[in-house]
Amino acid sequence: MGFKPNSFTFPPLVSSCAKAGFSKLGQKCHGQAIKNGVDFVLPVENSLIHFYACCGLVDFSRKVFVEMSLRDLVSWNSIVDGYAKVGELGIAHKLFDEMPQRNVISWNVMITGYLNSGNPGCSLKLFRRMMKMGLRGSDTTMVSVLTACGRSSRLKEGRSVHGSLIRTSLCSRLIIDTALIDMYSKCRRVGVANLVFDRTSVTNLICWNAMILGHCLHGNPEDGLNLYTKMVDTACSRDGEKSLDERQELRPDEVTFVGVLCACARRGLLVEGRNYFSQMSELFSIKPSFAHYWCMANLFAGVGQVQEALEIIRSMPVNEDVSLESLLWARLLGSCRFEGNVNLGEEIADAFN
């Protein structure tokens, strides 16, 4: 007896394609849904809108959405999210305003969309509008809002959000505490960020990185390096206080070393910077990225070794995290920065803008 797919078959299949980014396979699933006569079933249509949006094919999402005979909240949220994901915030906001009803996910989609497009001010404006309507945000809402406050250096608003989190007892969650650490650090209140970190009962690598980067980029670099050492000691210790999984979770990653190398560059710690750069690959098996090479170049230039800085920029390998074209531009910009050709550097920067 043959198996015949039905309307329950396709939503999980299409969602899996969306999660994995398998656009061609997802389109084949769409074709099979049409062939089996279930392409106009609401859950199938919603999964298709989400799938095409995740693959950046928002025109296909719109086509499915427009042809729907019945739409629900999931349909609206999916199409708004699709346009937000590709940076079409004007269309996304228009659709958001047209929604017959909204939930917290609807607001999160727009708040996060503006944040990811580099417009934290609009994210905060939407959040204020949400609060005036008496709606309560989720953890995702609060993390996005705190991130927006940090990126736009709105300390007063960040403090206000922190106060509301304390009043609603949401402040003790790791994801919220990490966002608070990041926000206070970027607003140059690293001491307050450190208080939040010290009071966090359960931490993970993301939380440690937020505090390390806070010290290294916005506070006292030595405090960041000391915290890095403490984290490595914790990860490598065998005193039984932490499980093997917990220790492995605290192994430094690429982000950790961006902060550490920036700290060395800020303080001109050439010997230490070289040692940390070696630790990345030799001790922790981390392949240096463009950001790490750029930090090292700044470190060498900062202590007067301009030729060595230029050599680092020129010898950066091409890998998956940076295209050849971007690498060539970086080398040219590096030459301008480290050789003092400010005018040419400004012309290149203007060309990018």
Q: Specify the pTM.
A: 0.86
Q: Are 306 and 325 in contact (CB under 8 A)?
A: no
pLDDT of residue 187: 97
Spatial neighbors of 2 by CB under 8 A, at least 6 apart, are none
Q: Is 64 exposed, middle or buried (0-12, 13-18, 19+ CB in 10 A)?
A: buried
Q: Residue 345: its pLDDT value, please?
A: 44
Which residues of the chain, if any, have pLDDT below 50?
1, 342, 344-349, 351-353
- Dihedral angle, C-alpha 342, 345, 351, 353, nearest 10 °: -80
Percent of the chain beyond pLDDT 90? 71
Q: What angle do CA 169, 171, 177 make, to 5 degrees?
A: 170
Element (H, E) at 285: none
Question: What pLDDT sits at residue 312?
Answer: 85
How does pLDDT run across 283-341, given as a tens digit for each residue?
999 999 888 988 898 899 888 888 888 888 778 776 655 565 565 556 555 555 655 55
